[in-house]
Amino acid sequence: MGKRTENKDELVLKWMLGQIGRAKKRKKQLDERLMEINEERNSPIGGVGYKPLPRNGGISNGAASILFKLADIEERIYAQKTEIEKSIVRVMDILEYLPIDSLEREVCELHYIDGKKMTEIEYVIPMSRAQCYNKLNAAIAMLLTQPRIKTMVRKNTQAYDDWCYQRDNARERNRRKNKVGGSASEIISENSRMEQGGGIRPEKSTGKKENP
């Protein structure tokens, strides 16, 4: 038996539910960028790339540029923190349509809100990884029976298509780069990152019974 084929509404809804993870990823990138700039700014005297500031009390163009970059990144980090909070509210609003004590909701909350992988969730619940995927897919099907969720999916379909277009372009650029001089490990790493950005990969059941 092959992998289950997901329809467009399911893919869009899973993308909507994955917005917390994407927001956290963007914030992490900004945090790392801010740390790198601060490390460069605080590099020891005589270090590579070190250029002492003038002693006349003024600020050089280079120093001012770094300060502006730091301020810009800090503002974007604060904005991203706000976006994460908004994303959590939007995702929780969607998951409210699932029965509060259901395994379907628990799997969705662990995966989409807490950011846990299925390899972690299978031990938290506990149940097999295939059963975790099945519960998640069942939750998506339950949510898509709700008229309001269907409306939200339709409104977000174009944004999802735009995101897919940008993702596919990034894949193609990296594929060309790797073809020219990339290593096998870089290709594997890129493929892994792209798989995390899309929908959840359904798996067939192993036949293992769920624990009560």
Distances (CA, A) of 141 to 11, 65, 117, 145: 11, 51, 20, 7
112-170 residue pLDDT tens: 999 999 999 999 998 999 999 999 999 999 999 999 999 999 999 999 999 999 889 88
Whether pLDDT at 93 is above 70? yes
pTM attached to this predicted model: 0.64
CB-based contact 133:200 (threshold 8 Å): yes
